[in-house]
Structure 1
């Protein structure tokens, strides 16, 4: 069995690792550390929870210590770019913990806080800077930060950078660095655009890949509960009636959804807080600290915010809403299977989420056990109570918000036919009319291409609107209780 001492790490680092109770490297650490120590570029394919932060932090600190020199004013010798504030803080904390016996400085730069303290920290220069791309670009524009002296550049969670639209800023930042630098590139997945970016930044990289998705997924007890959308909240409360749901992360697709679920849980007597990009840094840090300390049972999060959540012993992950992409599902449920432990992941699936579930099962190459909780009379009664605690958010057709669209449908169809000669893609009068071809269209002028807001419906055909497809109101064949 490989030990940290076998990887060529210096005594101060080994001492810090021993103090933290780390004895054996994870697979990504065993593969990556020797490569980074040799000064080579690295392309690492690894998911969160595999120990990849230590895989680059440990050898970077050793290289900086072996070639100790003052950092340039308003500069830094190593730059780590992270997609979120929480993840940046987590990475910086790890660097500080490993460097406790080395006398190297570490600073963070991210949005949501004042510029002054960050400028002060950068003024004399630091050995390691962990930053989010947007705030670093701001400092560079203000001349309070310079990347010209960067010796080692780390891009972490590259696929998430793509999702957040950070690829262009990353290219701008990299263009101002010295060409004679070491590059370390980490990503959980490798979309085409990320592969292109890696090709631009890396020079003859060594590629290491660990923890395939299936391996991570197989360690988790996964279940799907089919449920009507309006009854998800009482089902969630039913799950929390089981005391084993002691430290649970609940995922929603939107920030507003996270707030509403957290509000409902608190109203139902279940300690919870939401965490997402609209929260202040202080709010996020306090919520995360309370969750880690066990002061509340539920953390309701969006996918992006959850990238910075590093909490041990998460008992359950609940997908209150299924994610739009399968990769996000794997990231979500991986929060409950850290450091080789098993976990439980429960996903709520409404009728209009069936296709998302199919994509997830196809990507993970498995059929997730499912239980039907639709038409449950107890949940129906509980849903009425839930609406009194926190009123359910009602669907509002966006066309209704514009008074110009309060036009009878027949008139809208005639208007579209007159302007466009009966074409199926003509722009409606105010963005909400249906064309003669049956395709709902949006547009403001006769020459504009309509942007379909819905499909035409044949008499007696399947419903294809916000309510999802029609289904038979059959009695559920199989039910599941969290206490089973």
Structure 2
């Protein structure tokens, strides 16, 4: 029933005849960029060197020069005041190049890792855009629409909109499934300039006439690759068809596969593109990646070896990723029985429970979060020291996004990954990620990559982490294992 309802979403929506209707819409302004004299005076050589230093690659015609300070970004004083109050010292690379591009009113594709500061790269130009438009009238829908793949990411975007929109009395609402429609409908009816939405719930609201998209002139598609991975392409297309074609559209993605390129070519006009780092899939160079090749039954011992004594583990935050909801619950129960403060986050939990888990994790009520990939993207917790891939993910993109939960905002982090013979088909792409990031690579992994998972005996899976040899971990529902010494890297 639920699946049928999702597939039928938007069935009654009619695509407007924009050739006939657009001339009846009011004109609007979308170019607000005024180049700062300091930026204008910089030579092309200086700009090229700055872009090389920060791995900024741009494509398109008339791409503006990057700004190097907040004052150069031509933001109004009310925005600059809030940037200063937030304690930021200088723009991140995506902000440095993305702000002048976004403020200029042109369509934009931005390719940057999660945690690179891209949310503010589109939220601050959105605030400037809103303040230049006529005030909302009763019954009108939002001016800015931000599409996001998950409720977790949508709620994090809302936090930034709350913080930086307050000085302009800009109201926003967050529309996502798994929560009551009533409060969301009430906020829409009261009038909001920004709607942050997951595709399914937004179509539901538009189709049931709780809102409309006739005022939207600034559209953001965040984590476009993730939305397509999750099967949202039909919903995205239905939504975008409802929005006037002379809007400004900004598409953000961590990767640039052909499916995302096709979406951009269909819905963005004469767009410019900014990439931070290589166009190839790559992992953050701030993360040390440690791959432990081991048999399935040795994972729990190795996990305890990494975390060390519960008292030591409480000194830092860790995220442990499992492949299944059941696995997340089993690892959580096991860690709790062994004295660790741990909690699970996955799709079987009610939204209110997921919100509470994230609140408690961010605030340090517990230090270990065990999660399925529902938390792999858009999870913005700044002080995570360890990411542990208890189960290797099904695709290499998810590996990159998982380990990107640490090493954020210039900090360094460590990612441990348990890699079994069953994962051997992923050895070759994993090897490429490790080589690009100049990581230490074991001979065992190179051999697995060379043979593409074909053959190989159990001798490759000898224990390398100290302690006794491999052995079954669970002896019963209330089993308890003695705590091993901490992982050697954990003591550094």
Q: TM-score, normalised by structure 1?
A: 0.77
Question: Structure 1 residue 378 and structure 2 residue 468: aligned?
Answer: yes
Larger Rg, first or second structure (1 or 2): 1
Instruction: Give deviations 1:152-175, integer Å, cap 9, x for gaps.
Output: 110000000011100110000111
Aligned to 2:154: 88
Deviation larger for 311-320 or 253-262:
253-262
1:362 Cα deviation from its structure 2 partner: 2.0
Could you tell me which runs of 5 or more consecutive residues in structure 1 were left unpaired when the two chains were aligned. 391-478
User: Are 1:250 and 1:319, in contact at CA under 8 Å, matched by a contact in 2?
Assistant: yes
Counterpart mapping for 1:324-363 below 5 A: 324-363=394-433
| Among 205, 210, 221, the residue aligned to 2:271 | 205
Aligned to 1:138: 204
| Among 299, 317, 332, the residue aligned to 2:369 | 299
| Among 177, 190, 200, the residue aligned to 1:111 | 177
1:65 Cα deviation from its structure 2 partner: 1.1
Deviation larger for 272-281 or 197-206:
272-281
Deviation larger for 345-354 or 379-388:
379-388
Could you tell me which runs of 5 or more consecutive residues in structure 2 were left unpaired when the two chains were aligned. 1-66, 445-459, 481-486
| Among 87, 95, 99, the residue aligned to 2:165 | 99
Aligned partners of 2:267 and 2:391: how far apart in 1?
36
Question: Structure 1 residue 246 and structure 2 residue 246: aligned?
Answer: no
Counterpart mapping for 1:128-277 below 5 A: 128-212=194-278, 216-241=283-308, 243=312, 246-277=316-347
User: Are 1:74 and 1:144, in contact at CA under 8 Å, matched by a contact in 2?
Assistant: no
Question: Structure 1 residue 323 and structure 2 residue 389: aligned?
Answer: no
User: Are 2:287 and 2:407, in contact at CA under 8 Å, matched by a contact in 1?
Assistant: yes
Deviation larger for 378-387 or 66-75:
378-387
Aligned partners of 2:418 and 2:197: how far apart in 1?
35
Q: TM-score, normalised by structure 2?
A: 0.76
> Alignment RMSD, CA only?
2.4
1:254 Cα deviation from its structure 2 partner: 2.1
Aligned partners of 2:277 and 2:352: how far apart in 1?
34
Cα distance change on mapping 1:265 and 1:74 into 2, 3 Å: farther
Cα distance change on mapping 1:97 and 1:351 into 2, 3 Å: same
Instruction: Give deviations 1:55-114, integer Å, cap 9, x for gaps.
Output: 000011011112342156251111000000010000011011011211111111001111
User: Are 1:233 and 1:386, in contact at CA under 8 Å, matched by a contact in 2?
Assistant: no
Cα distance change on mapping 1:201 and 1:236 into 2, 3 Å: same
Counterpart mapping for 1:1-12 below 5 A: 2-12=68-78
Cα distance change on mapping 1:143 and 1:28 into 2, 3 Å: same
User: Are 2:109 and 2:274, in contact at CA under 8 Å, matched by a contact in 1?
Assistant: yes
Aligned partners of 1:260 and 1:79: how far apart in 2?
39
| Among 130, 133, 139, the residue aligned to 1:73 | 139
The answer to which structure, 1 or 2, has the higher relative contact order (CA under 8 A, 6+ apart) is: 2
Cα distance change on mapping 1:305 and 1:72 into 2, 3 Å: farther
1:304 Cα deviation from its structure 2 partner: 3.1
Aligned partners of 1:386 and 1:296: how far apart in 2?
26
Aligned partners of 1:74 and 1:100: how far apart in 2?
20
Cα distance change on mapping 1:69 and 1:215 into 2, 3 Å: same
Report the secondary structure of 1:346's partner residue: strand
